[in-house]
């Protein structure tokens, strides 16, 4: 079945979450790399904790907090863990930078090619609607993305099946007509289990997950998307 929609994860896939390291290093010399890694790990840990602790509530998790708030709380935790000063000024500077993370350099050209192919493009992200809109605008991608889908609508984070189900609630496609693209191996696995065709962008040359089946396709950057689409449309 040909692909009709290409759906991208946002953070780590379209936007470089570790680009925050440069500012973190400026504010906290010799700690930039450690801050960026621990911040990201805690952010994802909080999303899983929230969803797994109350996964079957029809109104979403009672513990839910928007991703923007979790991002700030994760930063504060990280600075406390590293025993670093976390004045409001420093936290605000880092959060402001997070709202306009650096996009990966190949993004725009790839998205433009997908649009020329006549396919629907979308983001499916844990991110809050406002922070996603800010990141997309900052990256100049407003004209090449048809939909920005946030799990905020259901108050459950990935990898809940309900989060992936938001794609079909937004776009009239079957699971088999969706190519889901993520640089997060756990996200690619969740989408594979859900039933999407999947492409894992393995930017860091990491080993595959030890559980579940492999994503349908693996590449090192987003240029792989175009090749996969050409293959699937033959």
Average pLDDT of the residues in 176-188 = 97
Average pLDDT of the residues in 211-231 = 95
Would you call 9 a catalytic residue per the annotation? yes
Banded model confidence at residue 163, pLDDT cuts 50, 70, 90: very high
d(CA 45, CA 34): 16
CA-to-CA dists, residue 83 to 35, 77, 79, 169, angstroms? 11, 10, 6, 44
Among residues 107, 116, 159, which one has the least CA distance to residue 136? Answer: 107
| pLDDT for the residue numbered 59 | 87
Query: In DSSP terms, which residues pair with 200 in a beta bridge?
Result: 182, 218
pTM: 0.95
CATH number at residue 49: 1.10.150.240
Task: Give the active site residue among 9, 16, 152, 187.
Answer: 9
Q: What is the pLDDT of residues 45-91, one digit of tens each?
A: 999 999 999 977 788 999 999 999 999 999 999 999 999 999 999 99
CA dihedral for 113, 232, 12, 220, sign (positive or negative): negative
| pLDDT for the residue numbered 57 | 76
The whole domain housing 47 covers 17-98
| H or E element in which residue 218 lies | strand 217-219
In the chain, the percentage of residues whose pLDDT exceeds 70 is: 99
CA-to-CA dists, residue 86 to 17, 31, 91, 94, 172, angstroms? 20, 13, 6, 11, 46
Q: Check whether residue 70 and residue 184 sit in a common domain.
A: no
pLDDT for residue 234 is more than 70: no
Q: Check whether residue 91 and residue 24 sit in a common domain.
A: yes
In the chain, the percentage of residues whose pLDDT exceeds 90 is: 95
Average pLDDT of the residues in 102-131 = 96
226 by DSSP, 3-state: which?
A: helix
CATH number at residue 221: 3.40.50.1000
| pLDDT for the residue numbered 232 | 86
| pLDDT for the residue numbered 187 | 98
* Domain end position, chosen among 73, 98, 123: 98
* Domain end position, chosen among 98, 122, 154: 98
| pLDDT for the residue numbered 177 | 97
Q: Check whether residue 203 and residue 113 sit in a common domain.
A: yes
Say how many domains are in the chain: 2
Average pLDDT of the residues in 110-126 = 97
pLDDT for residue 152 is more than 60: yes
For residue 167, the number of C-alpha atoms closer than 13 Å in the C-beta half-sphere is 30
Residue scoring higher pLDDT (134 or 1)? 134
């Amino acid at each position: 079945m040909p692909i009709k929609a290409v759906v991208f994860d946002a953070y780590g896939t379209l936007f470089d979450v570790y680009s925050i390291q440069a500012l973190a290093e400026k504010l906290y010399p010799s700690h930039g790399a450690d801050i960026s890694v621990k911040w990201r790990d805690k952010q994802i840990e909080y999303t899983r904790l929230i969803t797994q602790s109350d996964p079957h509530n029809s109104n979403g998790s009672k513990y839910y907090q928007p991703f923007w708030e979790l991002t700030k709380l994760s930063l504060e935790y990280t600075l406390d863990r590293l025993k670093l000063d976390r004045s409001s000024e420093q936290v605000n500077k880092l959060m402001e930078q997070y709202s306009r993370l650096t996009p990966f350099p190949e993004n725009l050209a790839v998205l433009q090619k997908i649009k020329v192919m006549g396919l629907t493009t979308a983001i499916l992200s844990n991110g809050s609607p406002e922070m996603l809109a800010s990141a997309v605008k900052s990256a100049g991608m407003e004209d090449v993305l048809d939909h920005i889908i946030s799990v905020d609508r259901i108050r459950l984070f990935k990898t809940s099946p309900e989060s992936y189900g938001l794609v079909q609630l937004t776009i009239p496609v079957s699971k088999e007509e969706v190519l889901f693209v993520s640089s997060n191996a756990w996200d690619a696995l969740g989408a594979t289990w859900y039933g999407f065709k999947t492409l894992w962008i393995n930017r860091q040359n990491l080993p595959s997950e030890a559980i579940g089946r492999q994503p349908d396709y693996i590449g090192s950057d987003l240029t792989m998307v175009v090749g996969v689409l050409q293959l699937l449309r033959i």
